[in-house]
Amino acid sequence: GEDVEQSLFLSVREGDSSVINCTYTDSSSTYLYWYKQEPGAGLQLLTYIFSNMDMKQDQRLTVLLNKKDKHLSLRIADTQTGDSAIYFCAESYNNNDMRFGAGTRLTVKP
């Protein structure tokens, strides 16, 4: 089946930038998403990008998409301790059938 892969752990110091990477295999993916999950909570949509876009920026968040390499990244500028969470990459063709990565646990050290 089609896969979404991301590294499991990332540790950064407060104030640094965090970059979380994701690769996917389905070339028909139209929507690519980043969700944040804090302990015991549901998924919070951070941002999403259409496959015909290369980049999307929203305040401290920058999403880069390399469609040729099927590579998606999320950069968090000026990372804060409150950014510590699990970040899920996901993709979909139609906003219905979604495939999630395993999640990257971001730890921000003071």
Partner 1 sequence: GAVVSQHPSWVICKSGTSVKIECRSLDFQATTMFWYRQFPKQSLMLMATSNEGSKATYEQGVEKDKFLINHASLTLSTLTVTSAHPEDSSFYICSAHSSLNYHQPQHFGDGTRLSIL
- d(CA 58, CA 44) in angstroms, rounded, equals 15
24 binds partner 1 (CB under 8 A): no
103 binds partner 1 (CB under 8 A): yes
99 neighbors 4 (Cβ within 8 angstroms): yes
Matching residue, tokens 């259409």:
50
SS3 call for 83: helix
- When the beta carbons of 40 and 82 are compared against partner 1, the nearer one is 40
The least distance separating partner 1 from the CB of residue 108, rounded to whole angstroms, comes to: 19
Of 38, 31, 108, 44, give the one whose Cα is nearest residue 77. 108
Which region, judged by CB under 8 A, interacts with partner 1, from 12-20, 55-63, 65-73, 94-102?
A: 94-102
Among 40, 52, 69, 110, the residue binding partner 1 under the rule CB under 8 A is 40
Fill in the amino acid letter for 22.
C
What residues line the site for partner 1 (CB under 8 A)? 31, 33, 35, 40-45, 48, 88, 92, 94-96, 98, 100-103
